[in-house]
Each structure stands twice: as C-alpha cells, then as structure tokens.
Amino acid sequence: MTEPLLRVENLVKHYREGGSTIHAVNGVSFEVYPGEAVGLVGESGCGKSTTARCILRLEDPTSGRIVFEGRDLTALPPSQLRELRQHLQIVFQDPHESLNPRFTVRRTLREPLFLHGLYRDESQLTDAVEHVNLERDHLRRYPHQLSGGQKQRVGVARAMMTHPQFVVLDEPTSSLDMSLRIHMLALLRRLQREMNMAYLFISHDLSTVRHLCDRVLVMYLGRIIEMGPTEEVFNRPRHVYTRALLSAIPIPDPTVKRERLLLKGETPSPRQLKPGCALQDRCPFVTEECLRPVPFYPLGNGHYAACRLAKEDA
C-alpha cells in the first residue's frame, strides 16, 4: 500500500488571549496520499486555516506531529525546514492581499525560484503564466493592473513554480464570481493531474469540495468529526453536523424539496472545551452518552464518524 505523503497526528493549537485559552485546534489527525485531493470543510472559525498554517509551519503547533515524507516537521530546525519549503506551498484566500504590490508578476514568480536555487532562465516564467492561462504580457504588470481572477491565477502559478508535492488551497475561489470559480477549479484539477500534486482544499463551499476532492474531512469546533471518500460522505453522512451542513446546500431546481436539519443555538466559544461530542449543546439527538468522549466508528470504505448514531451502521 502507498505510504501517506503527509500524516497529521493529534495536532493541537491553543492561543492565549486576555488570560484565557482559545482552543483553536483540538487533536486533529488525518493523512494525505500522493496525488490526492482532500477537502477540509466546516463553518468559519472552526479551525480549518489554523490547521493548514500549522501543517506548513507558518504557525507553531502547541502539540502533535506533522510528518511529511517520513520527517517530522515539528522537530526540524529552521535550516532543514527551509529546504523542504519548495515541496510545501500554499495558495491564499485573498489574492489582493497575498501579492506584493511592488512586485511585477515576473518578480513574483521568479522569487521562489531564486530562494531555492531553481532559477534557470526566462522560459520558466513564460511557461508558468501560460500554464495558468495568462499571457506573456502579464509578466510585466503589477497587481493593481490585474483583475481578481488574474491575481488568483498568479497566486496559483507562484505556488506551482517549485513543483511542490503538497499544496494547501485556502478557499482560493471564495473571492471570485461563479464563472471565474468554475474556470479556477478546472485549472486546479488540471494542474494536479499534470504535476501529480496532493491538495488540502479548505472551504466552506461543499459543492466545490464535491467537484474537486477525492476525500473530505468535516471539522467542527477544532475537531474532525467525520471523514471519508467524498461521494460516500455526501451520500451517507452519519454525523448530525455533517447532515445539517449538507441539508443547507441550495438545490438549483425549485421543484425539488429537501428536508432541512436545523441546529439550535450558536457555535460554543472555543475558550471552553468540553469533553464528549463537540456538538452536544446544539444537537437535537443529544443523550448522556454524547457528554463522554466519542470514538470514531468505522463505517466501511474508509468512512468514519465520531457520533453515537453512527454506531448503528458500524
């Protein structure tokens, strides 16, 4: 069996603020295999981006291990971590903020090549812009001379310059309109196939995740509560939170009715971490069993859910 490219083991990230602790990520574990696209979904503030930033060591985890190609990134000194950076890249959510306004597109794309000693000649840059459906003329432009969609394609090209093995896509289509979003997803899928990269695709847009990802991880209040092959999770959701998320997806056909599963109240504060199911304060099916730690129940075909209701299918 193929070894995972990336293995996250019991990742925890806490912040101290105003004398209290914010439990941003609470014991997250998962694997990503070579060439695989994994979706990480959940509502805003659930810890998706924090998880990604810890994986890339843009932030230091409080505890846990992040193993990339057999090397624990949390234990590497800065010099060795820098060597691995060319294999680990990110496309940020906001292209207006992630591009240096003083850099032309040429310098933006050339910079990672210089940093890792990979620059050969101008053809690397022209090939890169053409690869993301831009013109050679765009190389001399500054960010303010580009549209939002063009900026995001420059961000994608910059991430691909070093031919990485693993790329985090942090809601890369959220700032684009629907037509541009469709083109961006097609571009990302094509680049993944051509370069055999693994993606961690972060989004709250479940329809987009279903289109792009092989597997999906559902996150709530800093914890993974369900995971499995994308179609399996979409067709047979077993955690109450996943069912509520999927029931909220709009249906284009107004004649088709879907029964909504509504959760009561608001998401609890991450300052107070309770034992048991993270959804216990909002779930309409909560019992005393949910107040105690809930294991992941295997549902077959790599599908797992941390919900007592999943026991019936385990």
- CATH number for the domain spanning 137: value is 3.40.50.300
Output the pLDDT for position 313. 62
Output the pLDDT for position 257. 67
> What are the structure tokens assigned to 119, written together?
């620059």
Q: Give yes or no: residues 201 and 254 share one domain.
A: no
Model confidence over 246-276: pLDDT tens digits?
888 776 666 666 677 888 888 888 888 888 9
Output the pLDDT for position 140. 96
Which of 179, 213, 247 is where one domain is finished? 213
Mean pLDDT of 136-144: 96
Q: What range defines the domain where residue 68 resides?
A: 6-213
pLDDT cut 90: percent of the chain above it: 68
> How do strand 304-305 and strand 297-298 relate by DSSP bridges?
antiparallel
- Least Cα distance to 169 among 55, 74, 39, 45 occurs for 39
Model confidence over 105-134: pLDDT tens digits?
999 999 999 999 999 999 999 999 998 989
Q: What is the mean pLDDT of the chain?
A: 91
Residue 297 has pLDDT above 60, yes or no: yes
Number of domains in the chain: 2
Output the pLDDT for position 253. 60
* Model confidence, pTM: 0.92
Mean pLDDT of 188-216: 91
Mean pLDDT of 172-196: 85
Q: Give yes or no: residues 241 and 182 share one domain.
A: no
Q: Give yes or no: residues 179 and 272 share one domain.
A: no
Model confidence over 4-47: pLDDT tens digits?
999 999 999 999 988 899 999 999 999 999 999 999 999 888 99
Residue 223 maps to a domain: no
Model confidence over 61-92: pLDDT tens digits?
999 999 999 999 999 998 889 889 999 999 98
Residue 302 maps to a domain: yes
Q: Give yes or no: residues 97 and 206 share one domain.
A: yes
Output the pLDDT for position 256. 65
Residue 116 maps to a domain: yes
